């Protein structure tokens, strides 16, 4: 949208190097496939791809507006107009579901390599967009790009081993970890590896700090908040939660519950399988709950907070200019307001002016009755109900206390996505809203 000659001059060198790197990477991959893996077909595919990357590199280095490879404007506009918190969340959920369901397909090295190349190519093409580059190449945000790829890689490695193990278990064979149980010594094998990693990471950080220095901003002032004001990247998930909850819940209760829940895991887990080896089939419930909590409720929120939340914490498409004047209608109301005013068409129950403290509290309870009822049903009635229906086997194996802890932790975890959905669909602000005592839920 704002593509100017200056920007293209700046980014051309980077893009040229980037595409050359992609070409080199695929060239090496093709060589290994050809000589070591004996797969000349794939080798041919990736060497052709490497050739294309070399062409893109030379085009990018031209730094001319008509030559630098970029996504068509129509595609960018479409992406911008489609993207929003709802689509983002639903899209990532669908993506993770797809990756999980078709994991046998996606763990194949050539498929994973294709996906990696596709995303890297997409990143390169998007980088030619000034607005996209301005966000992604910000020194603060570069690590998040690294995080996305690192996480994808490690998840792929683990999933691959799990898929192989599941296949072996199905065939009645021992798991890979049992077969290859060669042990190495802590000294010198591990300690040397750690030493080398330490030196390598220090060198990397040094180079990084030289080339991507941390931004220095204006002096802090208690009456001037930067716009947008962002938490450190690892707390952006928390900041996103705070959009939907009161600070005491999203900032204190939920994070404590995350820590508590992680600590409780070994005591709640009654499944003795999957100990010391990767497996998904044998621990499907644990795997899915953990991955949902980690990827959907933490990582995607970090990515959302880093790349897609702009001034005034509005949602911006990936190719959108971050203007602080974007108008978004986000009006929302509390449940009591909705219940009494919109549905029953009567004013909120309010204590008379000269009422005593007890009477005021009584009126507050009356006002919040629908919300309290909903939360009561959710946290008190639902666990036993689940115990006799969907979690019958769990309840039998875990016993009362462990089951209750597990089900309540799970329900509290699910308050986040449920609250997000309620905010998007019916513009609900708080289910229980007692601003008199700063108690909102």
Partner 1 sequence: MAEKKKMSVADILAAARADKQSAPDAEKPAAKPEVASADSSPAEPSGVEAAPVSAGSSERPSVSDILAMARSGKGKPVEEPKKSAAPAAKQPTAKKAVAAKQPVVSGAKKNVQRDTASILEAARAGTKPGPVSKSEAPGFSKPTAKPAVKKAAKAPPPPVPPRPVRQKSEKAAKAGAAKTGASEDRRGFLAYTVGSFMAVGFTALSVTGGLFSMGLARFFFPNVLAEPPSSFKVGSKEGFPSGVVETKFVAQYGVWVVNADFEGVQQIYALKTVCTHLGCTPNWLEAEQKFKCPCHGSGFYKDGINFEGPAPRPLERYAIKIADDGQLEIDKSKSFQEELGQWNDPASYVTA
CB-side neighbour CA atoms (13 Å) of 336: 18
DSSP structure class, residue 139: T
Token reading at 36 = 């070591």
Residue 429 touching partner 1 (CB under 8 A):
yes
Give the binding-site size for partner 1 (rule: CB under 8 A). Answer: 36
User: Which residue, 59, 70, 74, is CA-closest to 23?
Assistant: 59
Binder of partner 1 out of 91, 324, 376, 399 (CB under 8 A): 324
User: Residue 284 in contact with residue 422, Cβ under 8 Å?
Assistant: no
Question: Is residue 99 a contact partner of residue 292, using CB atoms and an 8 Å limit?
Answer: no
The answer to the question of residue 358 lying near partner 1 (CB under 8 A) is no
Dihedral over Cα of 314, 320, 325, 330: its sign: negative
Alpha-carbon distance 116 to 122, whole Å?
10
Pick the piece of the chain touching partner 1 (CB under 8 A) from 22-30, 261-269, 319-327, 374-382.
319-327
Site string for partner 1, 207-246 (x = CB under 8 A): --------------xxxxxxxxx---------x--xxxxx
Q: Which is nearer to partner 1, 261 or 310 (CB)?
A: 310
Other beta carbons within 10 Å of 148: 17
Dihedral angle sign, alpha carbons of residues 300, 305, 307, 310: positive
Q: Residue 251 interacts with partner 1 (CB under 8 A)?
A: yes
Piece of 31-39, 48-56, 379-387, 429-437 that binds partner 1 (CB under 8 A): 429-437
Cβ burial 172-208 (10 Å sphere, 16+ → b, else e): eeebeeeeeeeeeeeeeeeeeeeeeeeeeeeeeeeee
CB of 227 to partner 1, least distance (A): 4
1, 229, 335 from 253: Cα distances, Å: 43, 23, 21
What's the min distance (Å) between Cβ of 221 and partner 1? Answer: 7
- 399 touching partner 1, by CB under 8 A: no
Does residue 165 interact with partner 1 by CB under 8 A?
no
Q: Report in angstroms how near the CB of residue 136 gets to partner 1 at its nearest.
A: 21
**Does 180 participate in binding partner 1 (rule CB under 8 A)?**
no
User: What's the min distance (Å) between Cβ of 143 and partner 1?
Assistant: 22
Q: What is the residue-wise DSSP string for 211-270?
A: HSPPPP-PPPBTTB--SS----GGGHHHHHHHTTS-HIIIIIIHHHHHHHHHHHHHHH--
Smallest separation (angstroms) from partner 1 to the CB of 292: 23
**Contacts by 149-156, CB closer than 8 A, 24 or more apart:** 149/116, 151/299, 152/116, 156/106, 156/107, 156/112
If binding is defined by CB under 8 A, does position 438 make contact with partner 1? yes
Instruction: Give the nearer residue to partner 1 in terms of CB position, either 16 or 305.
Output: 305
**From 50-58, 72-80, 291-299, 325-333, span contacting partner 1 (CB under 8 A):** 325-333
- Using rule CB under 8 A, residue 83 touches partner 1: no
Residue (141 or 312) nearer to partner 1, CB? 312
Q: Is position 425 an interface residue for partner 1 (rule: CB under 8 A)? A: no
| Choice between 112 and 241, CB closer to partner 1 | 241
Contact between 346 and partner 1 by CB under 8 A: the answer reads: no
Residues at the site binding partner 1, with contacts judged by CB under 8 A = 221-229, 239, 242-247, 251, 311-314, 324-325, 327, 329-332, 353, 429-430, 433, 435-436, 438, 440
């Amino acid at each position: 949208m704002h593509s100017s000659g200056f920007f293209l001059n700046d980014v051309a060198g980077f893009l040229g190097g980037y595409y050359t790197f992609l070409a080199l990477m695929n060239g090496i991959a093709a060589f290994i496939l050809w000589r070591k893996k004996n797969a000349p077909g794939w080798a041919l595919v990736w060497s052709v791809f490497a050739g294309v990357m070399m062409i893109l590199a030379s085009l990018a280095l031209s730094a001319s507006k008509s030559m630098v490879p970029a996504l068509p404007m129509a595609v960018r506009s479409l992406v911008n107009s489609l993207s929003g918190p709802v689509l983002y969340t639903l899209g990532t959920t669908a993506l993770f579901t797809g990756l999980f369901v078709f994991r046998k397909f996606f763990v194949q090295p050539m498929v994973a390599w294709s996906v990696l190349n596709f995303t890297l190519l997409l990143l390169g093409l998007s980088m030619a967009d000034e607005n996209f580059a301005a966000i992604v190449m910000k020194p603060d945000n570069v690590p998040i790009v690294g995080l996305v790829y690192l996480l994808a890689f490690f998840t792929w490695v683990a999933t691959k081993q799990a898929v192989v193990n599941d296949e072996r278990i199905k065939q009645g064979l021992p798991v890979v970890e049992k077969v290859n149980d060669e042990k190495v010594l802590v000294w010198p094998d591990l300690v040397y590896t750690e030493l080398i990693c330490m030196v390598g990471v220090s060198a990397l950080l040094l180079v990084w700090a030289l080339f991507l220095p941390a931004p220095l901003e204006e002096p802090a002032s208690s009456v001037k908040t930067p716009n947008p004001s962002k938490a450190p990247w690892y707390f952006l998930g928390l900041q996103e939660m705070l959009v939907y909850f009161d600070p005491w819940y999203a900032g204190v209760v939920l994070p404590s519950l995350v820590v508590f829940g992680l600590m409780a895991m070994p005591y709640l887990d009654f499944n003795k399988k999957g100990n010391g080896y990767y497996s998904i089939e044998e621990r499907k419930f644990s795997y899915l709950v953990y991955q949902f909590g980690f990827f959907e409720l933490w990582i995607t929120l970090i990515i959302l907070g880093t790349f897609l939340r702009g001034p005034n914490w509005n949602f911006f498409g990936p190719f959108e200019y971050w203007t602080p004047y974007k108008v978004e209608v986000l009006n929302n109301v509390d449940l009591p307001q909705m219940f009494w005013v919109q549905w029953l068409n009567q004013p909120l129950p309010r204590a008379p002016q000269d009422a005593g403290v007890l009477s005021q509290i009584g009126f507050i309870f009356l006002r919040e009755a629908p919300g309290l009822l909903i939360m009561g049903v959710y946290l008190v009635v639902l666990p036993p109900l689940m115990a006799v229906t969907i979690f019958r086997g769990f309840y039998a194996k875990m016993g009362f206390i462990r089951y209750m802890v597990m089900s309540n932790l799970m329900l509290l975890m699910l308050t986040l996505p449920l609250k997000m959905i309620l905010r998007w669909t019916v513009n609900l602000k708080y289910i229980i809203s007692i601003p008199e005592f700063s108690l909102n839920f």
